[in-house]
Structure 1
Amino acid sequence: MELEVRHLRALCAIADTGSVRKAALQLGMTQPSLTTQLHRIESCIGGLLFTRGRTGSRPTPLGHSVLARARPIIAEMSALVTAARDAALGIGGARLRIGSIGSRAVTGWLHRIHRRLPETDTTIHIDVSSGVLLQLLATNQLDVALVHETTGFPLPVPAGVERRVLIACEPRFVALSAGHPAAARPVVPLGELAGDDWITDPAADDEATALHRAFTAAGTAPRILHVRDTTTAAELVASGEAVRCCQPTAAPEAGTVVRPLLGDPLTAQLSLASRRGALPMRELDALFGDLMEAYAEAAERNETYRLWLREQGGGLLPLPTGR
């Protein structure tokens, strides 16, 4: 058996959904047929690519190695097909393809871009993985992207992709039930949450690894729950079953509160990434300005983050001007 692009797509679908069943639905296959295909792929490669358990399917070290090579191949094929279709249909005109992690700043960013470039066809791709966004940039499927890099865990940046730092050290806050004993604190020590289950998204870059490192430094170990569905995650937090890290601009869900962590043990760098030479410098500057204003606006709307910024002495963010 020789591996084909469809086989690589199947592996990525299993990794992204965390489940053979969900991947089969995504690919339009039956679960037994995808299971059989996976066994054949593993037989061809000569090793186990996923471990199967009650929490789903997770890549083995060999699986991670294969996926790291598979994703760029799939991205390149997608870019080739998109370019070919555009050429065949004679698609032209100004267009801007934006990528982003989930962020409260995205809506304001798009609003500013649409207002400044009303004739431009602007699209956006949201992904939990900054690594995926960087690969989409490298393969000409995106023009710019808002990405984050967990402090201490450098992102693999493809050749030709550049980043401009938006926020050098953004803190990670914690979302917990309004009834949690620590909810009454304005700032929560990490050690007080050592007995809680922590929700992480297995597709998020280094989220669980960073959490392990922070707890190790505090002399304990976290209990991790891998949850990809945001609705389920929000309900688990609201019910008091778990807590989870969140961006400081995040608004609390019903029945929850968002609090800073004492000493900011979890931080990340936010950047605007682009492919070298893909956009004129003037336009790149304007997009960066749009994004910075949108981020500052989102920070100003969030009382918890606004107070945290004030305690840092101010001056970390520009005031939103609404230009």
Structure 2
Amino acid sequence: MELEVRHLRALCAIADTGSLHKAARRLGVSQPSLTTQLRRIENSLGAELFWRERSGCRPTPVGRALLTRARPLVAEMTALVVEAKAAAAGSGGSRLRIGSTASRALPGWLGRLRRRLPGADISLHMDVSANALLRMVAAGQRDVVFVHEVEGSPLRVPEGLAVRVLIEREPQFVSLARGHPAATAPVVELADLAGDRWIVDPTVDGEWDGLRRVLAAAGLNPSVLHGDYHTAAALVAAGEAVAPCQPTSRPREDMAVRPLRGDPLAVRLLLCSPPGTEEVHQEVYEDLAAAYREVASEAAAYRQWLLRHKSPLLTGAAA
């Protein structure tokens, strides 16, 4: 068996996420398929590349040596493919490669950029991992990325990247079934959710650690499910769980979105780009800020929170 780029990409994903489950999600394959692929690679090389532990996967000395050579190869190949596609498109115009974690501000941001840069080749790459997006910028694979950093879980920002703070502290709300007793109040007490099961996506950098700290500080030790937020929404609506959510999330007929008392869980919103590009991407930042203000004002619970805290966000100034 000869190692191919897809094999190297799989090894890098396992090392970056520290988990076969998380790596499989990032690569868009099933965990059994990735496990089988890893076993074949190790059998072909005659060496174990990762130690499988209860806490996840950790590279062996042989694995670390292989990853040292694999990472630049994967980065170069990714950049080559992107450049080849751009050349094949023959756009000849400007290009803006955006990366982002999930945000309701994305559609408005992209729309503003397309109006500001007519004819430009604007592409979007989304990832649940903010750290993965930051590595893409550092490797020259993205021009700018919009990420969130969970309070208490700093991102691993590559040295030299230009970092602009969009929102210094965005409170995270909670989504719960419309019929949940706590949903009748405008602000939810964590203690009122003591008997609930929580669901969180562990592939989102820092999210599980942040929630675990907040729950422990409140003296709570609830049952926790790990799953993606599409599944979470269905379980929340059915009353089977509650989940942290972005304050810009819109409620549904079967689901309420409420702030938590004291705002114990928060994130910082960042726009990151290569060194020295702050002025180059000033308009990109301004369009993102405008798009974020728009969705913030449209989300009723968040708008009320902003009004109570006399936030400058509603007057057109970024926080």
Q: C-alpha displacement at 1:74, in angstroms?
A: 3.2
* Distance in 1 (alpha carbons) for counterparts of 2:111 and 2:247: 21
* Distance in 2 (alpha carbons) for counterparts of 1:17 and 1:32: 7
Query: How do 1:27-106 residues align onto structure 2 when only pairs under 5 Å count?
Result: 33-34=36-37, 36-37=39-40, 40=43, 44-45=47-48, 47-49=50-52, 59-62=56-59, 74-83=74-83, 92-106=92-106
Q: C-alpha displacement at 1:82, in angstroms?
A: 3.1
Structure 1 residue corresponding to 2:299, chosen from 302, 305, 311: 302
SS of match in other structure, 2:271: strand
Q: C-alpha displacement at 1:129, in angstroms?
A: 1.3
**Structure 2 CA distance for partners of 1:215 and 1:111, relative to 1, 3 Å:** same
* Residue number in structure 1 paired with 2:145: 145
* Distance in 2 (alpha carbons) for counterparts of 1:61 and 1:8: 16
Alpha-carbon displacement from aligned partner over 1:201-222 (angstroms, at most 9, x marks no partner) = 1210111101110011111224
* Distance in 2 (alpha carbons) for counterparts of 1:296 and 1:248: 12
Residue 157 of structure 1 aligns with an amino acid whose one-letter code is V
* Residue number in structure 2 paired with 1:247: 246
Do structure 1's residue 260 and structure 2's residue 285 form an aligned pair? no
Residue 233 of structure 1 aligns with an amino acid whose one-letter code is A
* Distance in 2 (alpha carbons) for counterparts of 1:20 and 1:274: 25
SS of match in other structure, 2:79: helix
Residue 172 of structure 2 aligns with an amino acid whose one-letter code is R
* Distance in 2 (alpha carbons) for counterparts of 1:254 and 1:71: 46
Q: Which moved more, 1:252-261 or 1:29-38?
A: 29-38
Q: C-alpha displacement at 1:6, in angstroms?
A: 3.7
Q: C-alpha displacement at 1:31, in angstroms?
A: 7.1
SS of match in other structure, 1:48: strand
Asked if structure 2 preserves the Cα contact closer than 8 Å seen for 1:144 and 1:274, the reply is yes
Asked if structure 2 preserves the Cα contact closer than 8 Å seen for 1:95 and 1:120, the reply is yes
Residue 244 of structure 2 aligns with an amino acid whose one-letter code is C
Asked if structure 2 preserves the Cα contact closer than 8 Å seen for 1:297 and 1:319, the reply is no
**Structure 2 CA distance for partners of 1:41 and 1:90, relative to 1, 3 Å:** same
Asked if structure 2 preserves the Cα contact closer than 8 Å seen for 1:138 and 1:161, the reply is yes
* Distance in 1 (alpha carbons) for counterparts of 2:136 and 2:121: 18
Q: C-alpha displacement at 1:38, in angstroms?
A: 6.2
Percent of paired sites with the same residue:
46
Q: Which moved more, 1:217-226 or 1:199-208?
A: 217-226
The RMSD of aligned alpha carbons is 3.4
SS of match in other structure, 2:51: coil
* Distance in 2 (alpha carbons) for counterparts of 1:195 and 1:71: 45
Alpha-carbon displacement from aligned partner over 1:85-143 (angstroms, at most 9, x marks no partner) = 65688764211111111111111111111111112111111211111111111111111
Q: C-alpha displacement at 1:223, in angstroms?
A: 2.4
Residue 264 of structure 1 aligns with an amino acid whose one-letter code is D
Asked if structure 1 preserves the Cα contact closer than 8 Å seen for 2:49 and 2:59, the reply is no
Query: How do 1:166-315 residues align onto structure 2 when only pairs under 5 Å count?
Result: 166-228=166-228, 230-277=229-276, 279=277, 281=279, 283-315=280-312
Alpha-carbon displacement from aligned partner over 1:47-88 (angstroms, at most 9, x marks no partner) = 53365xxxxxx733559x969977676334312443466568
* Distance in 2 (alpha carbons) for counterparts of 1:272 and 1:20: 25
Give the unaligned 5+ runs of structure 1. Answer: 52-57
* Residue number in structure 2 paired with 1:18: 21
How does the TM-score come out when normalised to structure 2?
0.83
* Distance in 1 (alpha carbons) for counterparts of 2:272 and 2:215: 30
* Residue number in structure 2 paired with 1:55: none
Q: C-alpha displacement at 1:252, in angstroms?
A: 2.1
SS of match in other structure, 1:195: coil
Q: C-alpha displacement at 1:267, in angstroms?
A: 0.5
Alpha-carbon displacement from aligned partner over 1:165-190 (angstroms, at most 9, x marks no partner) = 00000000000111112111111111
Residue 207 of structure 2 aligns with an amino acid whose one-letter code is E
* Distance in 1 (alpha carbons) for counterparts of 2:137 and 2:179: 43
